[in-house]
Structure 1
Amino acid sequence: MLTAYLNIFVIFALMFLGYLLTWKKWFDNMIADTFSKLVLNFALPASMFLNITQKFSKDQFLHLFKGMLLPITSILVTFVISIIYAKLTKVPRSRQGTFETMFTASNTIFIGLPINLAIFGEVAVPYVLLYYICNTTFFWTIGVYLIATDSPGIKQSQIKFNFFTAIKQIFSPALLGFIVGLFWLLLGIPTPHFVKDFLGYLGDLTTPLSMLFIGTIVYFTGITNLKMNKDTFGVLLGRYLISPLVVLGLSYIIPIPPMMLKVFIIQSAMPVQNSVPILTRSYKADTEFSTTSLTYSVLLYLFIIPILLHFVF
């Protein structure tokens, strides 16, 4: 467990470096946006393709998809709990949708993938992606709709679900890299050595660029501007207690392999999605609440992860 925690500390050291370099004016919002695009559009798809085609056989991967029922169910159960919690604690209507989305959806790629790689190694990548598919589908459909309902002056009946936008977000380059890799694997096509080298170099950028990006986000949010309130505390409760407990509880009803369960528990207890503040700003919802919750969830994670490691090891 100590080795895993030290590996995670190294990951967070990259985040602190991103914060420091942003403070030193080396990085700005444009650089952060560039890092985000590089990871999502190049590094992550390359990593997904390479891991799927090189680490698994056809039979192993077909067996893998049987485990998708648990993350789907756990996310829906957590979402129902978030609605009940919001009503019981009287979360203001102006931030209710944002609250329920942050309570339910994890940061499964920018933080989730590097952390799982640090703890379990590359064997965890397919399990990470299974949770990512379920989590991302929820976030870019129900989650975006809920955030939109927080917008002042917008009636619920006026909000239209854009099917093509949702499909574009769900089928991100990372997921497409996974899908292409899956077909590559199922068809038994050999991958040329120079292609593996090229994709390997790209994939190795995923962790450092992701954590530098998170550090930049934390800096621009502003630590001095953080204000803890009952709603932010509720988000943290959902992220770090309720969500992993739901996964653990459902595992007694929906049995899955031990390694898959460990990855799902870690994935379910990730910080808030990076995209939430961007969406709240776009819909003119409660941006201060979303950015505060995101920053608290990222900063507290370094103290949360030892507790999670205690349960998964």
Structure 2
Amino acid sequence: MSITIICLQLLQLLMMICLGFVIGKCHLFHHHFSNDLTKFVLNITMPFLILSSVTTSHFDQLPILDILYASFLLVILLPIIAYIIIKVFHIQKDASLHMFMISYPNVGFMGFPLIQSIYGQGALLYTAIINIGFNISLFSIGIFMMNYQNKHEFHFSFQKIITPGIISSLLALFIYAFSITIPSPIANFCTNIGNMTTPLSMFIIGLTMSQYHLKQMLFEGRVYLFCIFINFILPICFMPLFQFIQNNIVKGIALIILAMPVANSAALYAKTYHQNEQLAVQTIFISTLLSVITIPLLVYFFLI
């Protein structure tokens, strides 16, 4: 694994984000364009990206125990740690949002593209399995977190969990489990559609950031401290737990996922559940910028 390659990949992702930001500031599209594009990525291109991980790759035996252990750390333990952090540091203002932002890294929009670029197409299946847990958690624990300080009654909806991403992940597992051979035209179709995910995902992040004033987002010291904590310090704290993962690819995926910037869903949930939307977008923006530095550092010190 070359640290130079990782830095170049992150730089390319950042350039795509910058393009989305500039185009957003130029107001070339209707304000609903970003929402429609987000739905297109989440419901169309990303499911095909997940399917392409099994239609064009050959796998050895799946390291299921390592994947389940990594899923437990990232999906179950991480929200518990987030709650403890809020209590220990006596965070009162925007406590719900802070818990959410600690618990949900940007697996979809940045995790899949970056992990694919580092470990190849085959690693997407491992990531997709872990992401199933994140999706289930997002529509259950995530909603509960956002209502932690609200008087809104918590409602769990099973229908919200059955998303195209979940369906494609389960279908990918089915294809893998039964060693189903996919005809090359279909496999190439899945790959071509799935390859749209990376540029569009980064473009969406840039469009989202362009809706806010750049100076207002950049100059907030407390947000920088929070982003350094979740981008860099928290993954380091988890490293002793990651050492129990035997498969090096799964270990790398777990670390990279935890080092991802805050998920875009933080802004969507903040708006839906009457939280501080500006803080959410500001944290997404700064943590995404810092990840260009923090992810290569973590990979260099712990994975190479």
Whether these two folds match at TM > 0.5 is: yes
| 1:228 and 2:206 matched | no
The alpha-carbon distance between structure 1 residues 180 and 71, as it changes in their structure 2 partners (threshold 3 A), is: closer
d(CA) in 2 for partners of 1:27 and 1:309? 37
Indicate conservation of the 8 Å contact 1:50/1:200, yes or no. Answer: yes
Contact between 1:47 and 1:199, CA under 8 Å: does it hold in 2?
yes
Report what 1:60 is aligned to.
61
For residues 174 and 279 of structure 1, the distance between their equivalents in structure 2, rounded to whole angstroms, comes to 18
Contact 1:77 / 1:246 at 8 angstroms: preserved in 2?
Answer: no
Matches within 5 A, 1:1-313: 1-57=3-59, 60-61=61-62, 63-64=63-64, 66-92=66-92, 94-151=93-150, 154=151, 159-165=153-159, 168-169=160-161, 171-226=162-217, 227-230=219-222, 232-233=223-224, 235-252=226-243, 254-311=244-301, 312-313=303-304
Amino acid aligned to 1:22: G
Are residues 221 and 299 of structure 1, via their aligned partners in 2, closer, same or farther at CA, if it must alter by over 3 Å? farther
Give distance in 2, aligned partners of 1:245 and 1:137: 26
AA at the equivalent of 1:228: E
Q: How many residues align?
A: 300
- Mapped to 1, the partners of 2:142 and 2:280 lie a distance apart of 13
TM-score (norm 2): 0.89
Query: Deviation of residue 242 (structure 1)?
Result: 4.0
> Are the equivalent residues in 2 in contact too, given 1:149–1:159 (CA < 8 A)?
no
Equivalent pair of 2:132/2:169 in contact (CA under 8 Å) = no
Amino acid in the other structure paired with 2:132 = I
Instruction: String of CA shifts for 1:232-287, please: whole Å, max 9, x gaps.
Output: 346424421343124311123x3321121111101111111111111111121222
Cα distance between partner residues in 2 of 1:119 and 1:250: 22
Shift of 1:194: 2.1
Stretches of structure 2 lacking an aligned partner (at least 5 in a row): none
**Runs of 5+ consecutive residues of structure 1 not aligned to the other structure:** none
| Percent identity over paired residues | 21
2:176 and 2:119 map into 1 onto residues whose CA distance is 23
Shift of 1:98: 1.2
Letter in 2 for 1:251: F
Matching residue's letter, 1:101: F
Root-mean-square deviation over aligned CA pairs? 2.2
Residue pair 1:105, 1:272 contacting (<8 A) in 2 also: yes
Q: Contact 1:19/1:218 (CA < 8 Å) preserved in 2? A: yes
Partner Cα separation in structure 2 for residue 80 and residue 187 of structure 1: 36
User: Using the alignment, how far apart are the partners of 2:190 and 2:74 within structure 1?
Assistant: 33
**Aligned-residue offset at 1:209:** 0.6
- After TM superposition, give the deviation of residue 66 of structure 1 in Å: 4.1
Q: Distance between the aligned counterparts of 2:163 and 2:233, measured in 1?
A: 28
CA distances 1:91-133 after superposition (whole Å, capped 9, x unpaired):
22x5111111111211101011112122222232123223322
**Secondary structure at 1:26 match in 2:** coil
Letter in 1 for 2:167: L
Residues 188-215 of structure 1 deviation map (CA, whole Å, 9 limit, x = unaligned): 4332222122222211101111111111
Matched residue of 1:2: which SS? helix
Question: Does the Cα contact within 8 Å between 2:55 and 2:187 map onto a contact in 1?
Answer: no
* Partner Cα separation in structure 2 for residue 246 and residue 78 of structure 1: 11
The Cα of 1:229 is off from its aligned counterpart by: 5.0
Deviation at 1:175, TM superposition (A): 2.3
Which secondary structure does the structure 2 equivalent of 1:14 belong to?
Answer: helix
Q: TM-score, normalised by structure 1?
A: 0.87
